[in-house]
Structures are given as structure tokens and as C-alpha cells.
Amino acid sequence: MRVRLLLAPGRLLLAMADRLPRHNQSVVRRLREKAAEAEREARHGAELEERLARLHGEAAAWQSKALSE
């Protein structure tokens, strides 16, 4: 049984958790917690990338303004 590795990290962990037998509930719980953590970290990374792009734009605008004066 193959698990698609093209899934986001959190989704991969959830796919793994769904394939485990029910008697491994503690493992399933930990995998779900790690999946949620991976989703939070991915969201935070995306927010930081957006902020970086915005700051690059601001820096370019300020540099252009400084060079024109």
C-alpha cells in the first residue's frame, strides 16, 4: 500500500494515521497532533513569505525615492 508523497506534510501524517489499526490510538493521536503542527508551521511560513515580499517592495520603493533625490 503506497501513500502519496505529494501531499502536504500534515496531510501525509493524517493519511498515515488513517491507515493504522484502531488499537494504536495513542500513535494516531500523536500523528494528528503533528499534522496540525505541520499545518500551523506551513501557514506561518506562508505568512512570513508574504511579509518578506511586502518588505522587499517597500525597500525598493524607499531606495528608488532616495536615489531620485
CA dist., res. 11 & res. 19, Å (int): 13
Query: What would the pLDDT profile of 9-63 be if each residue is shown by its tens digit?
Result: 667 667 777 777 766 778 778 888 988 899 999 999 999 999 999 999 999 999 9
Sequence ranges of the domains in the chain:
9-68
CA dist., res. 55 & res. 30, Å (int): 37
Are residues 35 and 11 in contact, defined by beta-carbon separation less than 8 angstroms? yes
* Residues in contact with 16: Cβ distance below 8 Å, sequence separation at least 6, in sequence order: 3, 31
Does pTM surpass 0.85?
no
Q: Is the CA virtual torsion 10, 36, 30, 23 positive or negative? A: negative
Side-chain-side CA neighbours of residue 33 (13 Å): 6
